[in-house]
Structure formats: C-alpha cells, structure tokens
A and B are shown apart, each in its own frame.
Chain A
C-alpha cells in the first residue's frame, strides 16, 4: 500500500514479451510511437484512419491480431476515445490502440470490415455515447428502444432519468 500523497505503486518490471511486441509495432507502423503502460503496449491511432491501420495489424504476418478482444468508448473532458484491445490467438501477444476524436465532432472510422466482432461494440458505443462510426454496415441502435432520446452513457446524462415510450400506458 503506497503512503498517502504518493503517486501510486511503482511500475512493474518490463515484460520481455511486451517489449518484443513493442519492437514489432514500431517496425510495422514507423510513423507512430507505441509505448508501454503497465506492461501493455499502447499506440495512438488517428480516428479517421483506423480501418487501414487495423487491417495491417490483422494481416501483417508479424502481428496477426486476429481477435478484437474489446472495443470500449471512454468519455474525457476534451475528447471521446475508442480503445481497441487486440489479441493474437496464434502468436499470443496483445496490443491496445487508442483513437481520440474531439467532442464537437466525435467521428471514428468503423473497423467492422476488419473484425466482424466490432459490429455490436460499435452499435452500442454509438447509441450510448452519441458517437459516429463511418462505414458501419448496420448502424441501428442496439440496446435501447426506438425513439430513445439522449445519450445515457455520457457523464451529463442524469442518473434518475426515466423515459417511457409514448405507446405504453403506465397504471396510476
């Protein structure tokens, strides 16, 4: 337990497997700067270029990220961030891609053409946070009912808000 006022626990010793993945990513994407965070390789990608980068990550024989483990959306004060957790089932390594889009224009390129696993992740992120994934084959809402107003995932959405569809009669 770190004493009060300190930044946090000391970083873990670097993992050789993560360092090897870091070198592979540097070789495959010379224009970007991957870093290590808690022994996890992270790389920032452009939101309007994610399909091309992800396709290289999937098809490059050195990387072969064939499993999109998770695609999350995080709301920050200045931007919306899509986080891709990528895994390779054959080479057993992993990487994290992060794409930031500004709050006033939260548009990302869809990666559903690369991994079909992204289809529902992107539909859910889009309806809960009001972001757009261009090139998505089926951009309908997924979890909420038709006609739901607002984006309940966002911080500004009130917790105790109840919406009832017009055609449902609530007994008094």
Chain B
C-alpha cells in the first residue's frame, strides 16, 4: 500500500468546556491538536465573573468579608484572612492573641479540607472514581466542625476586622480530638489508594512539567511552585500570624510534574496537622476581638497583604480614601495567576493529558473569575 504524500494535514480545533465535568467549574479551553499532540491552546475565562472588586466599593469594611468567602469557596477561611489583615494593618489594630490562634487553626484545617477536595477531584480526573469518595468522607467531618465554629458549612464569614466573630464552641477540643485521628487514618488510606498505584503513576509521572524559574516568571505560587523544587512558602519567607513559632516543614517536589504537584499537597496535609496540634496545645485564653470603632474608617493610604492560601499566594491590595467604604480593592487570587502557566504546560503534551494537567493545577473558578 502506498501513501499519497501530497495530501495536506490540518490541525484540528477541539473545544473543551465551559460545561465539562473535568474543568472544575465553568472554564473553557480551545485546543488545537495535531493528531494526539497539543500545538496550541486558548483558555477562556470569565463565565463566573461577578465583579467582586467593584462590589467591594459599595460595601462597608465589615460586609466585604463575605465577598471574600465567595472567591475560593473551598478555602473560605484562608480568603478572609488577608482581607482582615489588610484592614488591620492600615488601621494599626492589634489583634488579641487568642483570635490569632483561632485564625491559624481554622486556616490550617481549611488547608487540609481543600487538599482533600483536590485529592478527590484529581483522582477523578485521572479516571478513578473511588478517591472522590475517600476525599469527601473526611472532608465532610471537617465541614461539620467548621459549621459548629462559624455557623456555616461553607462561606463562613467568621473572621472580623480585629478578631473573630465568636469564641470556639465548648466542645471544640473534644471534637478536634476525635477528628484528628480520623483525619490521620483517612489521609493514610487516601495515600495508600493512589500514591503508589501503577496506573496513577503512568498518568502523572513526567506529565505537564514546569521548572521553578519558568513557574516564578508566570507568577505561579503555592504547591504548584513548590512541586518544581522551590521552597518559596509565605509562612516561612514572609511570616504572618504566629507561623515562625511553629515547627513544620515545607514539602517540595523535584521535577515539577503532575505527580509532584499531587505529592506536595499530600505531604502538606501532614504538616498542617502538625501545626494544628501544636497550636491547640498552646492556645491562650483571653479576648477574641480588639476594640474597634462602630464605623471602620481606615486612614488614607494603601496596603498590600499576602498570605499562603492552599492554592498559592493570596494578596489583597487595599486603597482607602478615609471613608467608610474602600476606594479600591484588588484581589490577587492564586488560581488566576497559576492558570496563566496552563498554556505553557499543555503545549507539546498529549490531548489525553490535558485534563490531568488542568486538574493538577487545582483551580477554583470562583477564584479565577472573581
């Protein structure tokens, strides 16, 4: 059989999303494929654009906390933190120590819950259904703990400028004592299910590689950056709350592929557990709110505060003109910045890996579109 060499080949356009189970929300990408290889990709975002930054300009400083909940809706505590810290920094407020401990504990527990969601979704992206159930089993227990603390399973609205909304419930320590062993057992089972699974390794090892220097150039932060070998973690490098007092490690990866991005998150859960245990043992008694004026009017000025969100660096740029509503709030959300690097990771890889690579970046579309 002879092949007619004069026939032309054309690249094929392949649309993925916005309604697609593996896009983690309403994300659309238009892939240009040459056979099995991706030669170009155009990401389209904005389907969930609510104009949160503009909405902030119409709310007063206490109401805005709830808008931050709705950015990255699986790690709400971590989103509220940089906002309240920005207002406190501008106003020069001293937050009581107990409130800071409560914030730290809730943020670290939230990090575990968020990574468990990643675990479930990433397993599903790789073609396995069971991890989804495993990940959600422990996460559900954490959500009910969050509910007992803040009053809501999600969209907690728990942090206030100057402290937290209310003190921990009386049975918090008992609940945590039963939750932590359950989490340890659950995470061990999760790792046993996936981390050494031959099929999982085949799907993730060497896929979607990005090196640390390129990742930083793209503004990639958080576990995605640390998977490439950088140790950049704001809890160590630009410390806030009481992180310098705690003993924990920063897990890093070696090659920056999908497997490393997965593994860094699994290791991070163990480190967060370590931090929570230390914090609960040391938690002081005392007030949970600083004394704040009835109407918050931060002095004229601007401030940028960044914290380590489960997905990377979450920053808030707050400009105040001295009134009771902010002049401008810029939300620097980690998913938005991490997604810029998607095109770089996808070009040259196989079309079958597109979903795995997107899943390994761990985006939340509320965080991307704002």
Binding site for B on A (CB under 8 A): 1-2, 7-10, 12, 37-38, 40, 66-70, 72-75, 83, 85, 89, 92, 94, 96, 115-117, 119-120, 142-145, 152-153, 155, 157, 159
Contacts and interface: CB of A to CB of B under 8 A. Distances in A.
A37 B301 CA distance: 9
Nearest to B221: A67
A142 B327 contact: no
B25 interface: no
A85 B218 contact: no
Contacts, number: 104
A92 B237 contact: yes
Given A69-B332, A85-B315, A89-B232, A152 B54 contact: yes
Interface in B204-230: 213, 216-219, 221, 230
Contacts of A92: 237-238
A155 B327 CA distance: 9
A153 B317 contact: no
B219 A117 contact: yes
Given A1-B293, A143-B49, 12 more contacts: A8-B91, A37-B302, A38-B301, A67-B221, A70-B306, A70-B332, A74-B330, A117-B219, A120-B339, A144-B49, A152-B51, A153-B54
Given A38-B89, A72-B330, A120-B336, A9 B219 contact: no
Contacts of A96: 304
B340 A120 contact: yes
B53 interface: yes
A94 B91 CA distance: 22
B292 A1 contact: yes
A12 B303 CA distance: 13
B319 interface: yes
A133 B330 CA distance: 18
A5 B42 CA distance: 53
Given A67-B216, A68-B219, A117 B340 contact: yes
Interface string B39-57: 0000001100101011001
Q: Is the interface of A mostly helix, strand, loop or mixed?
A: loop
Given A74-B319, A143-B49, A144-B46, A67 B54 contact: no
A153 B52 CA distance: 10
Nearest to B293: A1
B304 A70 contact: yes
Interface in B319-337: 319, 327-328, 330, 332, 336-337
B92 interface: yes
A8 B49 contact: no
Contacts of A67: 216, 219, 221, 232
A58 to B, nearest CB: 9
Contacts of A83: 302, 317, 330
A152 to B, nearest CB: 6
A66 B232 CA distance: 12
B28 to A, nearest CB: 12
A74 B340 CA distance: 22
Contact of B299 (A8, A74, A85): A8
Counting contact residues on chain B (CB < 8 A from A), the size range is 35 or more
A81 B324 CA distance: 22
B217 A115 contact: yes
Contacts of B216: 66-67, 89
* 9 closest Cβ pairs, A-B complex: A9-B92, A117-B219, A8-B299, A143-B46, A72-B330, A70-B332, A143-B49, A72-B317, A89-B232
A144 B44 CA distance: 10
B90 to A, nearest CB: 8
B292 A116 contact: no
Nearest to A8: B299
Contacts of A75: 328
> Which of B51, B298, B303, B315 has the most A CB atoms < 10 Å from its CB?
B51
Interface string B294-314: 000011111110100000010
Interface string B104-125: 0000000000000000000000
A159 B51 CA distance: 10
Contacts of A119: 340
A92 B232 CA distance: 9
A110 to B, nearest CB: 14
Nearest to A120: B340
Interface string B9-27: 0000000000000000000
17 contacts: A1-B93, A8-B92, A9-B91, A38-B89, A38-B301, A67-B216, A70-B304, A70-B306, A72-B332, A74-B330, A85-B315, A89-B232, A92-B237, A96-B304, A115-B219, A120-B339, A142-B46
